[in-house]
Every structure is written in structure tokens, then in C-alpha cells.
Structure 1
Amino acid sequence: MGKVSLKELFLLRTVACLSIVFLHSVDVADSWFFGGLRLFLSFGTPAFILISEIVLANAYPTHTPKGFLKKRLRYIGIPYICFVIIYSLQNTFTLAGKAEISVLATNLVKGFFLGETSAYFVAIIFQFYLLHMFFVRYVFNRFRPKWILIIAGLVNVSYLAFFNLVSPPDHPTAIYVWDTFYRMPFIGWVFYFAVAYYLGRNYVQYLSMLQKYRHYIYASVPLTGIVMLFLFMSDIIPVLSSKRFDMIFFTLSTVFMLLIVAAKLRGVPSLIVKISQCSFGIYLVHPLVLSVIDHFFILPNNMFSAFVLFLFALSGSMGIVVVFNRFSWGSYFIGRIGVGLDLKRPNNRITNEKTQPVN
């Protein structure tokens, strides 16, 4: 299959990226307004993960080519390793207060295998890669989409609802699983995977169907948002996280709405394209930028300060991504700049007379 420019995904990826950066810039949660705002912004992580499978299913709907995992290990796996190490060093020597090698080793194990860094979403994406390889070979071509979606939805919702609604046993390991680890297994994301696969595989047809039912989708966004806010404010599901079972419905509604809106645009603004291209690196590096700002500046906890932090975090992260990608080794550290509307990557690496540009 030839490459197809999924232009609507540039807007979707940008909104998801901006939501995450703004979420981490808002450090005010002492009112229902800021708590609700942070809850809605949390949709960015599942949306970002969902996008990865849409792109994958559109490019490889029935098979995966030779070297599929190797290529992704180079440009996604290596940056994941780098940032797990960076955040583990940060947690050990600047935040935890116990600068010991044994603590660093523990933080590294937790970072790599238990998802205890802000880069954990990469581990989820890699699970999607493995799921895609398995499902296109053994599942998608053997069972009807309706049953795959129903089963995936029931499993995903039930899994998250269990951890959202059932209190953990009074044991440190159980409390840790309930608080942190339950987000790591693909079971907590499998419905996103199934929906994204069918959307990516039949992108044009499903986009047309979304436009046909746009009024229902527009209505579902505030409806699912109100339900989610009610469950949060009434302490039925008090956790402020993207790993809530009600977040599934809000995320999918919002993603569908953004795709419809993007399809109506006559063109994609260059700034949106640029943020989308740098989104992977922005996602990885923006917590570091925020921590540096927090170290040198004391800002009051209000919306204006949050907006200032957001602008600095976004611009600083984009600048770092662009600068690192000017070096041949930079994309291995921070990830590659994504393709543009023309399906080409910008060639902005530093070269000399003996060095040929890398495509």
C-alpha cells in the first residue's frame, strides 16, 4: 500500500501534545475548576497512543514488513531508554533526596519495567507494535470486527473499572499495583488499539461515516465529559488520571470530533504541522524543561503562571528537538522529527563535505 497523508492526524496529534504539556504546567488542583481542567487534559495520553495504531494500521493493515521492530527500536526504543535513564537520575539525585547507587538501580528497574517515568507511554506503544504483529496475523482476518470491538471494549472497561472502583487490599504491593502498575499491561488500552486499527485500515470510509454522524459525536463530547466530571467530583472515581474507564468514552468522542473538525479545514496551519512533527520529542523532554523552570523561578499557582509555564515548556521542548535533530545522532536520543504533509522529513542535520545527508 502506498503512503497516504492522514492530514487530520496533524491536528489531532498537536492537540494531544498540547494537552499533555498544559496538563503538566497546571499545578493547581485546589478547586473543582482546576481539577476538572486537568482531568479533561488527561485525554492527551490515550489519544497519542491511539494515533500510533491509526498510522500503523493504515500503513500495514495485513502484515508487517521485515525490519519492522528494528526500525522502531532505533528511533523510539533508544530514546525511551535514554529518557528512562535521565528521569531515573533526576529522581535519584535531585528529587528523591537519597543519592545512592542502590536507589538509582531501583529507579531504573521501576522506570524500564514498571513505567515509573513520564516516558512510560512508549512502553505502551511498543506493546501495540507487538499486538499489531500478532493480531494482523492471527485475529483480525479470522473474526468479525463487531465481536473484536465488543470483546476488547468489555475487557478494557472491566479492567479499568476494577482498579477505579475497588479499593486495594491493605498491602504495599497491592497498593502499588492499584496506584501505578495497572496502567502498564496492554489490557488497559486494548479497546483503543482495536478502534484505532479499524479506523486506520479503513480511514477514508470511517472518516466519512464520522462526518455523517457528526451531530451525535459533537453531543457525546460534553455528555461524556460531564459524566466523567461528576464521577470525579463526587469521589466515585477520585483519581485524576487518564487510566479511568470513563476516560475511554471521553477520549474516543474527542478524537472523533477533532478528526471531523480537521477534515473540514481547507489546509493545516504550518505551526500545527511543526508541533505535530516534534510531538514525540516534546512529550519526552517537556517534564525536564518544566523542572528546570521550577528550579530557577518561583511562580504563583494561578492560570496565568500555568500559561507562562506552558509556553516556555512548549517552545523550549521544540527548540531542543530541532537542535538535537541537526546532529546525526540526535534522532536516536530524542526521536526523529516526523513527516510533514508531503510525507517527507525535514533534512536539517549538520553535514560537512565528507558527510552525505541522511534521508
Structure 2
Amino acid sequence: MSKNKLINELFWLRFIACLAVVVGHAIQTSESHFLPDDSALGISAEIRQVIYLSLLFGTPVFVFISEFLLAKSYPVNVPKGFIKKRVQYLLVPYLFMSVVYAFIEAEVWSVKGLSLEIAMNIFLGDSTVYFILIIFQFYFLHIILNRYLNKWSPKVVIVSSFIINVVYLSIFNFIKSPDTVYAQYIWQKGYWIPFVGWLFYFTVAYYCGKHYSEVLKFLNRHRLFVIIMPVITFMLVLVVSKVLVTVPWSSKRIDMILYSLSVIFFIIYVTSKLKTLPSIVMFISSYSFSIYLLHKAFLALIKVMHPPEWIGMYVYIISAFILSLLLSIIVSYFLNRLSIGKYLVGAIKIYKPKANYKLEEKKVS
């Protein structure tokens, strides 16, 4: 078995997805800061809405990458201590940041209020770091289903998972919730957590990781289709957003499935043609997990500071984006210099740009 090498395209995926998530949340922060009439009306608001919708592929990309790497790195069995290591470097930061966001999001800092907020964040994924719970479900799915997915027809599995995924999301996208507090919470955000809502990403990522060289060949054969699909699927997103106004503006929508996958394949295709990998791409990619964990905390701090209205919405968005990105990197860097830091805000690994990391197929005996 040859040593598994890194893949340029994954650096680009992480880089682009990370920036998309931070920009999207910066837009949300600015919308809540400025007056409602300024954020809800006019051509300027329409432009922001289009930009925001176009960036909602960010979280699906991170979810996709997690299973892609798992299938690529461990095509037969995961190594001993696999779950223990993930608990240390993923679940512990999840627990820590769930507490941090409980203090940020709690309306009243009381024992009861904070305890409830912490419990909801940890057990219900009621904070911005919820995606870690999805990734952990993918780990267990991979361990349980790997032997079967190796035998079953990829086409049948992918099509079946797509149908299941669409039916599941359709329930919460299009059916009104029962008139109870618990049901309304599930319909609002509780349905995000079960893996069923992300199943299509799992199966596609699994087979892409297993057969990446074949995937690249497929993308090259159908390059015109790969190039135009993000445009076509995003037009669908815009139509759904304007016509079906009850559908939430989030990455957990049925139209986002096709849009997110089309963006993923477009990025893979385009970046696979590039001969070099910029240092900034590797740098941001290396910090992407910490940025995802921390950036919204700094956006909350920026919001509390109440910048003057005269700076304008777009200056505010750009400033909030840059500040939250830089502060996340700085805090992660200094905390990682402490032995405990990587267990709080995620470990960072800086890759040197001297090599052009390319795929080397893993041979399985």
C-alpha cells in the first residue's frame, strides 16, 4: 500500500467553502445591524440575497469532504483508535465551543438559562458548530456500511440516497409543523442533525473518495455539463426562493442538494487543471476548521460594538468578514501554541507550498 498523498482540489474546496461560510454569516450580521427597511427592500437588498443564497454550499462542502477523505484514506477498515482520535480533535472542541456559544447566545446569564442553552447546543446541535454531529454520524455510517457499499451498485445507492434525502427534507420544507413547541423546534432547525438530511452527500462523497481518478475522468468527459450545472441549479434555487416563500433560506433545502454538488464538482474540475497551489489557499485551508468554529463568535462581538450607520452595509459586511477571519486565525494560532489549545478550537496543520500535492491512487491488497 503506497503512502496516501494530499489532493490539491480538497485544499481549494476547504478554502472556498470556508470563505463562503464566513461571508454568508457576515451578511447575516450586517442585515441584523442595519435598519429593517434598509435590509429588506430595494435592489441592494436583492443583490445581497442573491449573494447570500449563492454561498449556502459552504457547510455541505465541509460535510462532503469529511466522508471523501474517510473513503479515500481508509477504503477497507478504519485504524484502531480512529474514533478516540476524532473524539479528541473534533468532539472536545465541539463541546467547548457549544459552551462558548451558549454564553454568546443566551438572552439572560442565569444558571437556568445558561444550562438550558448549553444542553441544547451539545445535545441538539443548536449552535453554529452543529455540523460536527453530522460528521460523527458519517464516521459511524462509514464503519457500519463500508462492507455493503463496496458490494452494492453505486448508481442504485446514489439514486436511492437522493430520493430518501429529498423526501426527508421535503417534509420539513413544505409541510407545516404540528402546533406544538417541540414540533416547531424540529421543523425550524432540529431536522438538521439526523444524517438522513445529508445522506446524498455521504454516498456521493463515499464513491468519489473510493474512485477519485475515475471521477476526474468523468468530469473531463462531461466538462460542459460540469461547467453549466452550477448556473442551472442556482437558477432553480432563485426560483424556489422567490416563488415558494415558505422554504427556509438555508443549506438544508432540497434545491441546495443539487446546487451544492454541482458547485463541488465544478470546483474539483477547475482546480484539477491548475498546476500550482497558492500559499494562501493552503493557509486558509489549514485553519478552516478553527475558522468555522470561531468566526461567528467574533461576528457577535462585532455586532455588539455597533459601528456607525454611515459606514454603509457593504463596508460593514467586508469589515466584519475580514475581522472575523483574521481574529479566528490569530486566536487559533496562539491557542494552538498551548498543549490544550487544539482541544478547544481545533488543531491546525500548516502545509508547505514547496510541493504540488497531487493524487496518488491507494492500492488495496
TM-score (norm 2): 0.89
Shift of residue 254, structure 1, vs aligned partner:
0.4
2:329 corresponds to: 318
- Could you tell which deviates more after superposition, 156-165 or 272-281? 156-165
1:112 corresponds to: 122
Whether contact under 8 Å (2:247, 2:253) holds in the other structure is no
**Pairing 1:81-100 to 2, within 5 Å after superposition:** 81-92=95-106, 96=107, 98-100=108-110
| Residues in 1 aligned to 2:212 and 2:7: alpha-carbon distance in whole angstroms | 8
1:323 partner letter:
F
Whether contact under 8 Å (1:299, 1:305) holds in the other structure is no
2:216 corresponds to: 207
Counting matched residue pairs gives 339
Deviations 1:303-322 (A, max 9, x none): 22101111111111111111
1:125 partner letter:
I
Deviations 1:185-225 (A, max 9, x none): 00000100000011111112212211221110111111000
1:250 partner letter:
Y
Give the root-mean-square deviation of aligned CA atoms.
1.7
| Residues in 1 aligned to 2:340 and 2:287: alpha-carbon distance in whole angstroms | 16
| Residues in 2 aligned to 1:340 and 1:207: alpha-carbon distance in whole angstroms | 24
2:231 partner letter:
P
Structure 1 gap ranges (5+)? 345-359
1:355 corresponds to: none
Is 2:86 the counterpart of 1:77? Answer: no
Whether contact under 8 Å (2:138, 2:195) holds in the other structure is yes
Whether contact under 8 Å (2:20, 2:56) holds in the other structure is yes
C-alpha change, 1:99 and 1:121, in structure 2 (3 Å) is: same
Shift of residue 339, structure 1, vs aligned partner:
5.5
- Partner SS for 1:189: helix
- Could you tell which deviates more after superposition, 106-115 or 78-87? 106-115
2:48 corresponds to: 34
**Pairing 1:158-307 to 2, within 5 Å after superposition:** 158-300=167-309, 302-307=313-318
1:100 partner letter:
S
Shift of residue 113, structure 1, vs aligned partner:
1.5
2:57 corresponds to: 43
Structure 2 gap ranges (5+)? 32-38, 356-365
Is 2:4 the counterpart of 1:3? Answer: yes
2:216 partner letter:
L
C-alpha change, 1:342 and 1:34, in structure 2 (3 Å) is: closer
| Residues in 2 aligned to 1:238 and 1:194: alpha-carbon distance in whole angstroms | 25
| Residues in 2 aligned to 1:177 and 1:196: alpha-carbon distance in whole angstroms | 27
1:322 partner letter:
Y
Shift of residue 112, structure 1, vs aligned partner:
1.0
- Partner SS for 1:298: coil
Whether contact under 8 Å (2:15, 2:281) holds in the other structure is yes
C-alpha change, 1:339 and 1:151, in structure 2 (3 Å) is: farther
| Residues in 2 aligned to 1:7 and 1:339: alpha-carbon distance in whole angstroms | 14
| Residues in 2 aligned to 1:211 and 1:323: alpha-carbon distance in whole angstroms | 42
C-alpha change, 1:111 and 1:185, in structure 2 (3 Å) is: same
| Residues in 1 aligned to 2:336 and 2:308: alpha-carbon distance in whole angstroms | 31
Shift of residue 99, structure 1, vs aligned partner:
2.1
Looking at both structures, which has the greater relative contact order when contacts are Cα pairs under 8 Å and sequence separation is at least 6?
A: 2
Deviations 1:130-180 (A, max 9, x none): 11111113x213311111111111100111112111111222221111101
Whether contact under 8 Å (2:90, 2:346) holds in the other structure is yes
2:358 corresponds to: none
C-alpha change, 1:25 and 1:211, in structure 2 (3 Å) is: same
TM-score (norm 1): 0.91
Is 2:21 the counterpart of 1:12? Answer: no
- Partner SS for 1:306: helix
1:69 partner letter:
I
1:129 corresponds to: 139
2:146 partner letter:
V
Percent sequence identity is 35
C-alpha change, 1:198 and 1:342, in structure 2 (3 Å) is: farther
